[in-house]
Amino acid sequence: MDADALLGGLDDQQRRAVTSEAAPLAILAGAGAGKTRVLTRRIAWRAATGSVDPRRVLAVTFTRKAAGELRARLAQLDVQPAVTAGTIHALALAQLRARYTEQRRDFPALLERKARLLVPLTGRRGADARVAASELAGEIEWAKARGIRPDGYTAAVRAAGRNPPRDDMAAVYGRYEREKQRRGLVDFDDLLWSCAEVLETDPEFAAAQRWRFRALFVDEFQDISPAQLRLVRAWLGDRTDLCVVGDADQAIYGFGGADPSFLTDFARHFPTAEVLHLGRNYRSTPQIVDTAEAVLRDAGGARPPRVGVRASGPRPTVTEYDSEEDEARRVAARLQEARTAERRWSDLAVLYRTNAQSAAFESALSAVGIPFRVRGAGSFLDRPEVRAALDRLRDAARDAPGRSFAEHLVDLDVVDAAAGGERSEHGDALVRLGREYLDAEPGSGSLDGFLAFLTAALRDDAPIDEDAVELLTFHRAKGLEFHTVFVTGLERGLVPISYADTPPERAEERRLLYVALSRAEQALHCSWARSRTFGLRTARRSPSPWLEPIGSALRGDATDVAARPAPAGVRAARARLVAAAGEPTVAGAALFAALRDWRRGLARASGVPAYVIFPDSTLRAVAESRPATAEDLLALPGVGPVKAARHGDAVLQLVRSHT
């Protein structure tokens, strides 16, 4: 795709961020300002202008889903061959394994849950021991994210003004490390440490990795920990080709050891860096931007204005329910109303603060037959069809040890495709993961390597793209967006969470709510329940203190945000956008839905994931700009000559039939 076309659909600030020659470069902006879009376009633009070979690009994203989306979007922008994109843990694991294989050494097994080793160290039994172990695990994770070893723990905790969960925490941490080593295991944090250490101490390995990766990109940089930054620096060596994007208002992993000052003080950490800002929100209606902003403004202090440039939408709602079951039942009913001919289930999401809250929604949605997905690896790897496929791979690897993993994967793909008329989405996902794994660990793929990769890559991600309502914690919703979002359980004790008792902890909880609210594009529904059951105990509940600022923002919006006089700058920006993109029309929405139906049918018939045909962004661009000729079509993001030749007629036909 030619370089100029890649600058279409960007505003001036975004275009500057895409084309800036600065290195390092940091791009700071609020939720929905197009950071991730700019990151993708920048990679594509640099590839198109020859400033970087896509094979030399390493993109670190927060989740595997984000990495997958990035790869798909780049493929749509005709960036070939594929860049390497993944979560930092999966990338570190792949590099370490490759090195072990080279040295003909076996890679240690991955310890998935620290609690497994910690339970015996708690001195307690049953559920008590599990709770205590997970608290200890959290503390060890914090220490390891900060690069603190057992012998430095006590001093570090004192310096950080932290309350350790136990007086002998340093000793417990030491025993955990020794036990892990004795059993020949490594944990997720070790992957980061070891990979950085090898790069720092083995010049040959470092040179090979640095040759392979020349340009580094990191999304969600506000949540990077010192251990992760050390690895990024080790990948970079003495070079400067690093581009990061992030938003300090969305820093939500301080409890886990992340340090947003790496983003906010970027120029101090990387002295030759340029820092750019983006000021508009393209995701959400002005009503939703106002509601989310109100929560942050309520903390006091000056904030730069956030300009919501989308067309006006319905006012967000706040609803009080009798109980959590009541909340779940009513949310299920509203989900059914929200699902229309133009709205897929996966355009809808239910968000909550803690994992435990998903249970009520799972049963309420099941009761009325709404398909849903709870993010998390466990459920995927436990699926019977996934287990069966992995068993087949194991058998095949045993029977034909000479064949490479790549060959076994092709067999699996073929067998799976032939097995049933409609191949399982889970089977598809597994094959796709296999290819991702081979991208990350080329040449040296093995079944063991793939199994380890699955564990690391699926840590908190669901790999399937089926049409289902997403049930997500606030944390896991980061970076995602949905047409309609239900933000539930807005009660004291949950939002903010009861154990957040210091001012920085409460500030992090506030940002977490901001992340949740800012996921919504068109419709936002907030709710809380007057009673909630924890174990055997039912408790009276009171509303979250942050429903106050939300309520005030909504009352201020008694008529309609768009009807209120907006500041001149906001008005001008909104007018420009509306002029550029056109108001979304009813016909546009219907065309978009029709394009999606067409794509779904084609995806099923040809056995490829839908996004491979065209991503949503392309279909949206088609619906908005209504191309009349093949040439018009080629001007849209995500349409290259091959796709235009293959699907052009069908798409243009659909456009003509929706006038």
What are the residues binding ligand ATP (CB under 6 A)?
9-11, 14, 29, 31-37, 247, 250, 282-283, 479, 481, 617
Q: Which listed option, Mg ion, ligand ATP, none, makes contact with residue 32 (CB within 5 to 8 Å by class)? A: ligand ATP
Measured from the CB atom, the residue of 199 and 591 that comes closer to ligand ATP is 591
DSSP type of residue 368:
T
Measured from the CB atom, the residue of 37 and 330 that comes closer to ligand ATP is 37
Q: Cβ 505 to Mg ion, closest distance in Å?
A: 24
Cα distance between residue 492 and residue 353, in whole Å? 11
Tokens standing for 195?
């990979």
Q: Cβ 32 to Mg ion, closest distance in Å?
A: 8
Q: Which listed option, Mg ion, ligand ATP, none, makes contact with residue 37 (CB within 5 to 8 Å by class)? A: ligand ATP
Query: Closest Cα partner for 227 from 139, 137, 141, 146?
Result: 146
Cα distance between residue 416 and residue 393, in whole Å? 12
Q: Cβ 656 to ligand ATP, closest distance in Å?
A: 25
Measured from the CB atom, the residue of 86 and 150 that comes closer to ligand ATP is 86
Any contact of residue 250 with Mg ion (CB under 5 A)? no
Measured from the CB atom, the residue of 35 and 42 that comes closer to Mg ion is 35
531: enclosing H helix or E strand: strand 520-534
Query: Contacts with Mg ion: how many residues (CB under 5 A)?
Result: 3
DSSP type of residue 497:
B
DSSP type of residue 222:
G
- Cβ of 174: how many Cβ atoms within 10 Å? 15
Measured from the CB atom, the residue of 283 and 329 that comes closer to ligand ATP is 283
Measured from the CB atom, the residue of 479 and 638 that comes closer to Mg ion is 479
Cα distance between residue 552 and residue 558, in whole Å? 10
Alpha helices in 146-225 (DSSP H): 150-160, 169-182, 188-201, 203-212
Q: Cβ 36 to Mg ion, closest distance in Å?
A: 3
Span 459-518, contacts to Mg ion by CB under 5 A: 479
Q: Which residue is nearest to Mg ion (CB)?
A: 36
CA 411 to chain centre: 31
Measured from the CB atom, the residue of 36 and 522 that comes closer to Mg ion is 36
The position carrying tokens 């058998």 is 395
Q: Which listed option, ligand ATP, Mg ion, none, makes contact with residue 617 (CB within 5 to 8 Å by class)? A: ligand ATP
Q: Cβ 481 to Mg ion, closest distance in Å?
A: 9
The torsion defined by the Cα of 282, 285, 288 and 290, in degrees rounded to 10, comes to: 80
Any contact of residue 36 with Mg ion (CB under 5 A)? yes
Cα distance between residue 354 and residue 496, in whole Å? 11
Strand, coil or helix: 437: helix
Query: Closest Cα partner for 170 from 187, 153, 188?
Result: 153
Contact region with Mg ion (CB under 5 A), list: 34-42, 309-317, 345-353, 553-561: 34-42
Q: Cβ 36 to ligand ATP, closest distance in Å?
A: 3
Query: Closest Cα partner for 30 from 297, 231, 233, 224?
Result: 297
Q: Which residue is nearest to ligand ATP (CB)?
A: 34
Contact region with Mg ion (CB under 5 A), list: 33-41, 148-156, 453-461, 558-566: 33-41
Q: Cβ 511 to ligand ATP, closest distance in Å?
A: 12
Measured from the CB atom, the residue of 35 and 510 that comes closer to Mg ion is 35
Cα first-last separation, the chain: 29
Q: Cβ 226 to Mg ion, closest distance in Å?
A: 22
Contact 71, 85 (CB under 8 A): yes
Binding residues for Mg ion, rule: CB under 5 A, are 35-36, 479
